[in-house]
Amino acid sequence: MINFFSAHWSILQSQFWSLLVIGLANGLIYAMVAIGYTLVYGVLRLINFAHSEVVMSGAFGGYFVLRETVGSTMPTGFASFGYVLLGAVSGALVGAVVATFVERIAYRPLRKRHAPKIAFLISAIGASYFLVNLAGKEFGRYNTALPLVYNNNVAFTFLGAQIQTYYIVIAIVSLIMLVLLDRFVSKSKLGRSIRAVAQDAETASLMGVNIDRTIALTFIIGGALGGVAGFMIALNTGAIYTMGFVPALKAFTAAVLGGIGNLRGAVIGGLLLGVVESLSVAFVDPAFIDVVAFAILVLVLLFRPTGILGERLGRAA
Amino acid sequence: MQKYFRSPFALRLYRTLALTALIALMTGAPGQQQTPNLGLKLSYFQHVSFFGLFVTQRWVVFLALGLMVLGVSELTIRYRPVVRTLRQRVIAGPARIFERRLVKLTGLAFLFLIAFMIPTLVTNAYWRAAMVEQVAVYVLLALGLNVVVGFAGLLDLGFVAFYAIGTYTTAWVTGALPLAPPFHHALNPFWAIPIAIAITMLSGILLGAPTLRLRGDYLAIVTLGFGEIVTILANNLFSVTGGATGTNQIPHFSIHLGPFNYLWGLDPVPYYYLVIGFAILFIAVFHSLNNSRIGRAWTAIREDEVAAESVGINPLKFKVMAFAIGAASAGFAGVITAGQSNFVTPSSFTLQFSINVLVLVIFGGMGSIAGVAIGAIVIQVITMQLDHYPPAGFIPQDLFMYLGALLIVMMILRPAGLFPARRRTRELQQAGQGVGHADEVLTGDVYE
């Protein structure tokens, strides 16, 4: 027993920093997807099951744009930076469009009819199932690699951890998006309308907030972040029609872990989940990594269902 | 000018055009690996024959069809009173006859008679196998999920997990797994039934008890994750489950009672009668459950949990009960499948499976036993026909896409299903007027 632990501790000791970097990078991606869940949850009190397909469609949006624009030679320097930006923007656009369609087709007719909650959940899972199979039909049921837009070599070494360009890309893109989102929700007029609706929809509407427009806005913002996250996942693993499912399930776990409905909670939950999952590689067979996230979800629901920071989209972030 | 672009008719026109574009895409050609946007191009610009009249591009055909549908729906809107009277006179009047007890019982007896005669009527080898594996077993599964979704109003997306546990329990008890069986000699699958029911019920309680205390949607996502976890475990715990290849050593069902010996072999027909027998048992049990104190408690929780709690119903207890009963019936169906097919591999336990069973429940009418049974038969027969004998141009893999679309369409147009339970229909109508389910999902028209 002692031997068992000492062997695992030595793995952890020797690889701690590189595992931490991988965990933080995954965590940033989870955080971006989790924000889509948390925003919609904060406003509608509803889990948007179709969010996994928003992530997937963002990846394909980035893929198509890059395939049409990147030439035969791999871009370097500022050109790489431009292409990553282009892919992220197109992923965000496609993600926002798909999320808006989901809201219009699968949710709005039910909202107008005051359908019970189970109807929303069924409609959501129907939308997810429909989109994943439509994507499988249109894009083929294969893994399509994205064109290389940067040279993914080791940029620098930090405490023994080799930092590849991919991690730098994730860090820059997601930190920009997350900071922009935070500023938007806490400072802008539209962001204030989101918080107002999350706090008290009826009063907000009496104060002149257009509820339908606010709900649509939360889907657009969540969809854009999810689309960018999908694009960044695809940079590493390629795009395939089923790619959204596992990251979305983990992002949901992250959202619950941080306190669903809470934007900063989603970021903290995402980072924490990414790091815990990555460090658990030292102890758990890699095949069972997905089980770790699920176990965390069930444990959080058992012992602290409101998450680390509590549920509070309504209060000023 | 702006008035015309945002008039009700213009909005209906946009909606029709968007839906037509989507349907053209859905029914179009698939994409390829090297040219993934080929499907997109072909869906709109492929040349097709318009009902044999002339050849044109697909988008023209779909535009024409969409405008025709829009025209018909505009007419029904203009003549709404006429349509309403027609519907009441022609459909609702004769339909009311089915509410009489005598007619109901006669219909039921007639259905059972047909069910027993099916094996003599079906001669096609494909259908003889499918009527057991794809129709009868799915009726059992749909009846079980109906207890969770229909009676208790909870969404269970990990139904497949319990089905898998039932199958693997059968393999374990009959000595087909690497894991040593619990008894000295391998048992026949009949003995697996009580064991599988106990194990699936227990796992249902262990999973449900922590999550059912919380809001309803947590259950959906936790069960979704649980379904994935069970598949991952089945795939990777080689020493227990045999890994990705599973096992093909599960024996057939058999009865050894003194001088009476009977072995279910490779012929599907004996299994058909076995499953039908159990289905009748299930229907009787679920029907009486639904009409008992327990069923009334489920209805009360579904309609208004706070009110139910205030009259002394413990919501957690009854929710866990429904969840465990649903889990147990999935486990039971797993035993039947294992005993019939002899093999089990993790690849048959996918999220697709759970959603397909959900479609059966929703289509027939959640909460209505007869509706769910009929709906399951109708959907499974249609999908199996399309899967095995696809019409020209139809890709069997697209079936799942249509099933997903069916879920959304049902929720928008007929949330209580095609053959609805009367109580469910009334609940949904009342919810539309703001009774029950208070402040669950933000409706957006609080100021109207």
Chain A partners within 8 Å of B395 (Cβ)? 137
**ipTM for the whole complex:** 0.88
| Alpha-carbon gap: A245 to the closest alpha carbon of chain B (Å) | 10
Chain B partners within 8 Å of A194 (Cβ)? none
B329-354 pLDDT, tens per residue?
A: 999 999 998 888 888 888 888 888 99
What pLDDT is recorded for position A216? Answer: 92
| Alpha-carbon gap: B37 to the closest alpha carbon of chain A (Å) | 7
Helices (H), B174-314: 189-212, 216-236, 238-241, 268-290, 293-303, 305-310
In terms of CA atoms, which chain B residue is nearest residue A110? B412
Cβ contact, residue pair A211, B446, below 8 Å: yes
Chain A partners within 8 Å of B432 (Cβ)? 113-115
What pLDDT is recorded for position B259? Answer: 73
Cβ contact, residue pair A45, B442, below 8 Å: yes
Chain B partners within 8 Å of A211 (Cβ)? 442, 444-447
**Which of A120, A201, A287 is facing B232, going by the closest CB pair?**
A287
Name the packing angle between helices A211-237 and A165-187 (round to 10°). Answer: 170
Size of interface A-B (CB pairs under 8 A): 204
In terms of CA atoms, which chain B residue is nearest residue A207? B447
Cα separation, A231 vs A152, whole angstroms: 16
Cα separation, A92 vs A294, whole angstroms: 28
**Full pLDDT tens readout for chain A, 317 residues:** 455 566 677 777 778 888 888 899 999 999 999 999 999 988 888 888 899 999 999 999 999 898 888 877 777 778 888 889 999 999 999 999 999 999 998 998 888 888 888 888 899 999 999 999 998 888 888 888 888 887 777 777 777 777 888 888 899 999 999 999 999 988 898 888 988 888 888 888 888 888 889 999 999 999 999 999 999 999 988 888 989 899 999 999 999 888 888 888 899 999 999 999 988 888 888 888 888 888 888 888 878 878 888 766 554 34
Give all domains of chain B, ordered by start, each with its CATH number. Answer: 2-28+40-93 (no CATH), 107-426 (1.10.3470)
Report the amino acid identity of residue B413. Answer: L
In the CATH scheme, what architecture does the domain A21-303 have? Orthogonal Bundle (1.10)
Which residue did the predictor score with more confidence, B8 or A29?
A: A29
Which of B230, B379, B441 would you mutate first to test chain A, the one with the most A CBs within 10 A?
B441
As a residue count, chain B comes to 448
Cα separation, B251 vs B248, whole angstroms: 9
| Alpha-carbon gap: A89 to the closest alpha carbon of chain B (Å) | 20
The residues pairing with B255 across neighbouring beta strands, listed in sequence order, are B262
Token pair for residue B442? 């933000």
Read off the pLDDT band of B61 (50, 70, 90).
confident
What pLDDT is recorded for position B446? Answer: 38
DSSP state letter for A224: H
| Alpha-carbon gap: B444 to the closest alpha carbon of chain A (Å) | 5
Cα separation, B414 vs B417, whole angstroms: 5
| Alpha-carbon gap: A173 to the closest alpha carbon of chain B (Å) | 27
HSE, side-chain direction, 13 A CA sphere, residue B121 = 7
Cβ contact, residue pair A252, B221, below 8 Å: yes
